[in-house]
Structure 1
């Protein structure tokens, strides 16, 4: 994994774009051209729903053209994450508040399709954001300098609709919102492309987990645990069983209800069933992250290894060995090759 600090998009972001663009382009183009949004549609969606991100999107589009040689239209469409090609992740997450607020999460996915990048940025110019990068400027999880932390898990419902890819939604929430109340209110206004659970915790110890899905009202819950079904409702039992979603949810919920310490819950994240070994199916645990809102830090954990990052930390990297895996059968979209710079080429598994 590589970590970089770049307040506004520049050479470090372009290095990531050069390394990953071919694979992201293949993922984006996995659908028929007739099913892809136009540049105008993407621009209008950002202008309507995420106007604060519009200047950054325009800048990133120009940087991508210069770094990769792609067309302005293709760069803008891909980076908008409007109506993206569907993808599925695993993941578990828990919010704790005693003795201090903390957001714990595991990220379960295919290592060949993972950017492996931690980005510390200040794209808005008013609020620093740090988190695990995805889709070049989106986030799988993150924290801002006000102490708001958020992470995502797949919500267990197949299919997609008209909306944004969830990584861009997480960036918008962290750039625009200072606490859980603001974030929950903001997410209610944003159309999303797929079903997800989002868990929030802030420096004051407020917690919320919400379920978002295309074309539906946001469902808000006070529960502190989320895995890969809709909050605590299993809508697709076969899929939940394959991912051990209920098993993970029940274990983590029991620990929370019994008053387990943070150390004990972290330990559970580093063992099965929360730590997944399903690398051959594209759902192995790539990392476990521990976000501390009051400290403004994230610590990534693996069995026998830890790595802590803060907003002002310089560029760094860590090597972690996980089993290699082929893209699972039944998933469409090409498997990416290796990138041309430090970052591995990233892609999406295209599963619907």
Structure 2
């Protein structure tokens, strides 16, 4: 199993966004068709919700729609207003050493359901770079003010009117410069499901915010989070994802005074924090590291490959990453690496599903 990762950059919504859209929309549109019954008021409701919650994004949303084809289904999707249940689980932590704060996260899912793109933009005048989630949203990222953010699924099935978390992460990084501002933004924007968002800034301040559609945001100083909030509230998912086991492992690690960033990365690349259960939809697709002080972004994969970027100098690259399923001879070895100085041109034709999913199915990230 293999996946082609690429990095793209642009200042205004243009060619890079068109490439991301062409790559991801075949799968997302299939998701829209299967999981959403259109109503005549959908677009009106989405615009009013954006105007109320993220007024700075209304014009940007119009630009996205124009670039991606001005289709009503596309417009509704790119608004991320009240999507079906969306599960993005993962593991993330904040660590501080002599290089300043570090945000590290594992993204776990079926490799074929990941958009495999590091996108750098200056759509609103601020440089924002991160891993694409939902074409214009982000699963994790950092901005040029030195603020980094990442998300995990919060382990609850409750859903209500609100925004999908990838757009909320994009909003935080476009609008905020530090943890205090990020926390206020997370409190003010309604999330349609429960997620855990970790934010860290260049000063070394950090917070983990538990978002939910049915209760106020809970702000904690936890340095790590997996896929539950106040406790495991969805037992089946908790067992499948081993959320408590991963959290307990991190708690032990963070109690050790000799813990280093290199050792923490090593722990993120092996069980219980890493997984090779790709056939079950729960395998580690990438590990991302964000350094707010030095503005460095690193992506590390389970096949042993690594890619390092400067926030202000992300260029066009492609890299073929191999994924070894559980039970194979090795899941961390040599890499078949290719770096090609051109943009991605051919989306996977079988990319038919997405990370939006029924919570009763064990397909998680």
Question: For 1:102-181, what aligned pairs fall within 5 Å after superposition?
Answer: 102-125=102-125, 127-181=126-180
Question: For 1:1-352, what aligned pairs fall within 5 Å after superposition?
Answer: 1-33=5-37, 38-65=42-69, 72-99=71-98, 100-125=100-125, 127-230=126-229, 233-259=231-257, 260-303=259-302, 304-311=304-311, 312-323=313-324, 341-344=345-348, 345=351, 347-352=354-359
CA distance in 2 between counterparts of 1:7 and 1:305 reads: 28
Bigger shift: 234-243 or 3-12? Answer: 234-243
CA distance in 2 between counterparts of 1:111 and 1:159 reads: 26
Q: Which runs of 4+ in 1 moved over 4 A?
A: 34-37
Structure 2 unpaired stretches of 5+: 327-343, 360-365
State the Cα distance separating 1:213 from its structure 2 match.
0.9
CA distance in 1 between counterparts of 2:154 and 2:324 reads: 25
Cα 1:324–1:35 change in 2 (3 A) is: farther
* 2:8 and 2:315 in contact (8 A); partners too: yes
CA distance in 1 between counterparts of 2:215 and 2:356 reads: 25
* 2:8 and 2:16 in contact (8 A); partners too: yes
Cα 1:161–1:36 change in 2 (3 A) is: farther
Cα 1:342–1:297 change in 2 (3 A) is: farther
Cα 1:8–1:269 change in 2 (3 A) is: same
State the Cα distance separating 1:313 from its structure 2 match.
2.2
- Aligned-residue Cα RMSD (Å) equals 1.8
Cα 1:271–1:75 change in 2 (3 A) is: same
State the Cα distance separating 1:31 from its structure 2 match.
2.6
- How many residues in Structure 1 have an aligned counterpart in Structure 2? 331
Cα 1:253–1:26 change in 2 (3 A) is: same
Secondary structure of residue in 2 paired with 1:351: coil
Secondary structure of residue in 1 paired with 2:145: coil
CA distance in 1 between counterparts of 2:190 and 2:236 reads: 27
TM-score normalised over the length of structure 2: 0.87
